[in-house]
Structure formats: structure tokens, C-alpha cells
Amino acid sequence: MYIRNYTNGDCRETAELFYNTVHKINKRDYTADQIKVWAPENRDLKKWNDSFSGRKAIVAVEENQIVGFCDITDSGYLDRLYVHSEYQGKGAGKALCREAEKYAAAKENDLVTVYASITAKAFFENLGYSTVRDNEVIRDGITLKNFLMEKELPKSSLRLESTPVLETERLILRRFTFDDIEDMYAIYSDKTVNKFLPWFPFESREETEKYLSENIMPQYENQFSCRYCVELKETGKVIGYVSLGCIDLKNRGGDLGYGLMKEYWNRGIITEASKEILKWLKGCGFRYITATHDVNNPASGEVMKKLGMKYRCSYDEIWQPKNFKVTFRLYRIDF
């Protein structure tokens, strides 16, 4: 059995499953009149299909047959969960519910709520749901009893680290130190390397040391930071950097930036370094990372594509302190 997203082609099969399940399983807890208004024989398939739009809808499949389905809203309301009458108690309902809960957690909900039928109440209790109150629904003048139930979702923790040492086949990714001033100056003073970056090329080693002291080193004192230098194992030379800015710990995202000495371009070095850092960020619990590049610097965009990022939009910005308009292309990867 496997779980996949609902498609329009599942409309008739899920509608029939719903009808048969209510009439065969729920009839032990509801009267014939209640069953009739709950699951009428003639159902508008277009309305049924449309009812799954704007929410997460999934189906459980066993040997090319849909054996269950459910749908949940972005706010964590589990609207429907039905399992084929012949697959009751075989794990399909539990698997669907777990997937729905994962979706609700990814949408940063604290709770999942559901109106459970008399028949389904014990099922949800076994999965950790508790009853908030009894409830009644009136359909065509017929009253049906159910229960408002809820489950508190575990709060996934964000692992906070401050630029720990990482390693790839060719590279050591670590914090900058004051022993790196010469290599840093070579990177930050190069006009070609810094052409598409917001700051002006550094003019002295003293300016480089001041930048390291005032802008980079304090970040390492934070509970979380991502400010890496890229050291080439073969020589021990610092040849570039990768960093995460605009860090949003609440929404678990940030914006990736990088730079590399031009002598090392077109060797896949920044891609190699960035992939390892993205892997670390994912492990920390980050949900998305963005990156932008000047439209006049398409090579940077190719790096983003190699990292698995997808193009999202373009926008104009007056870049400071250089004070000129730049058109940016924004890419994003979701974990």
C-alpha cells in the first residue's frame, strides 16, 4: 500500500468508496434515515471533485485500487477520512491520518481537529485524539451525532548551531579567523569577483580586518549562524565563502549568498560547498532557502539550478551602497 495525492481521475472511485463505506460500516451506529442523508445515492461528481480543491487531499492505494482517502485544510481541519469496507483495520486509515498530521505540522499548526462519527471515535482515540465536545449535524431535517475531537501536534525543534565545521571531498567549510586576512582581502578586493555584489571592493587589508571583526566574528557568538569560508584541502588556502543571510528562525528560512576567487571558477567548488551547507541546514530543521542573482550574472543562476533550486520570480531593487537598479532573479528550494 502507498499514499499519493488525490487527482481528478480519482473522483468517481472515491465517491463510490465513501457511499459504500457509510452504508456498510457506519450503518451499525446510525439509522437508515441518517445514512441516507449522510451518503445519498445520487451524488454530483463535479461538486464532489471540487470539494477537494484548496486543501491537501490524499488516497491510499493497494494493487491499483483506492482503499481510502482523506483531506485536510491548511488550518489543520481533517474534513474526511474514509476507508474501504474490506480494508478496515488494515492500516490504511492510520497511514492516511499520519500523512495528514504531517501536512498540518508543516503548515505550523499546533492542533489537528476533526468531527468524528460515532463509528470513528474509537479509531481517533487510539491515535491520540481527545473529545472536545459532543456535536450534532442536521441534514434535510435529520440529526446526526458526532464528536469534535482534537490532537496536539508535537512541536518539532530547530537545531541551532553556529557555523560548525563541515567537510566535502575537496573542501573544508569552517569559520573565518584573523589568520585568513590575506586570503579574504584577495577575495573581497577583486573587482571581477565583486562586480555583482552590493558592496564596493575592499581597498586595504585594514578594511578587510575591520569587516571581519565588526561584521563576521560577532555572528559566531549567536546561537545560530551560517558564515562559512571555503578552504581548499589541497593547499589550505581560503578561496571563497558561503553564507546565509536574512535568517528567519520562526519560519525556518534564509537567503544563500556566495563568492569565489575567479581562478577557481567553473570547477564546481561553490556548488560542492553549498550542497553540503544545504544538507546541514536541512538537518537543522530549516524548511526553505532562497538565493538571488543579478540578471546580468546568469552563471550564478546556474549554480542555483545545480543546487536543486527552482526559479520563482524577478524583481527590481536599488542596491546599496552602490546605488543602482538591479533586476534580480529569485530561486528557492523547499525541504
pLDDT above 80 (res 312): yes
Compute φ and ψ for 334, nearest 5 degrees.
-110, 135
pLDDT at 60: 95
Q: Domains in the chain, ordered, with CATH?
A: 2-152 (3.40.630.30), 166-334 (3.40.630.30)
pLDDT tens digits for 65-90? 999 999 999 999 999 999 999 999 99
What's the pLDDT score for residue 51? Answer: 95
What b/e readout covers 19-40, taking b as 16+ CB neighbours within 10 angstroms?
A: bebbbebbeeebeeebbbbbbe
Average pLDDT over residues 328-332: 96
Cα 131-137-140 angle, rounded to 5 deg: 165
Query: What per-residue confidence (pLDDT) applies to 261?
Result: 97
The pLDDT assigned to 319 comes to 83
- Residue 261: phi and psi, rounded to 5, are -55, 135
Find the angle CA(289)-CA(163)-CA(212) to the nearest 5 degrees: 105
Residues 6 or more apart from 98 whose CB is under 8 A from it? none
How many residues are there in the chain?
335
Q: Which residues of 260-281 are buried (b: 16+ CB within 10 A; e: fewer)?
A: bbeeeeeeebbbbbbebbbebb
Mean pLDDT of 1-7: 92
Average pLDDT over residues 8-19: 96
Band of pLDDT at residue 313, cut at 50, 70 and 90: very high
pLDDT at 155 over 80: no
Beta strands (DSSP E) in 153-201 are 166-167, 171-174
Q: Summarize pLDDT for 92-149 with one digit per residue, the tens.
A: 999 999 999 989 988 888 899 999 999 999 999 999 999 999 999 999 999 999 999 9
Is the pLDDT confidence value at 245 over 90? yes
User: Running DSSP on this structure, what letter comes out for residue 214?
Assistant: I
Rounded Cα distance between 86 and 44, Å, is 25
Q: In what order do the strands lie in the sheet with 65-72?
A: 2-5, 56-62, 65-72, 77-83, 111-117, 142-152, 130-139
327, pLDDT greater than 90: yes
Distance of CA 250 to the CA centre of its chain: 13
pLDDT band at 198 (very low <50, low <70, confident <90, very high): confident
What is the rounded distance in angstroms from the CA atom of residue 246 to the CA atom of residue 110? Answer: 26
Assessment of whether the complete model's pTM goes beyond 0.85? no
The answer to whether residues 291 and 244 touch, using CB atoms and an 8 Å cutoff, is no
Buried b (16+ CB within 10 A) or exposed e, 104-138: bbeeebeebbbbbbebbbebbeeeebeeeeeeeee
pLDDT, residue 199, reads 83
Computed over every residue of the chain, the mean pLDDT equals 94
For 296, left (φ over 0), alpha (ψ -120 to 50), or beta? alpha
- Residue 110 has a pLDDT of 86
Distance of CA 116 to the CA centre of its chain: 29
Are the CB atoms for 149 and 132 separated by under 8 Å? yes
Can you give the pLDDT at residue 156?
63
Please give the single-letter amino acid code of residue 329. Answer: R
pLDDT of residue 158 exceeding 90: no
**Per-residue pLDDT tens over the stretch 33-73:** 999 999 999 889 999 999 999 999 999 999 999 999 999 99
Dihedral sign computed on CA atoms, order 302, 308, 311, 314: negative
What's the rounded mean pLDDT across residues 172-176? 97
Nearest by Cα to 18 from 55, 56, 58, 69: 69
pLDDT value for 197:
84
Q: How many CB atoms neighbour CB 181 within 10 A?
A: 16
pLDDT of residue 324: 86
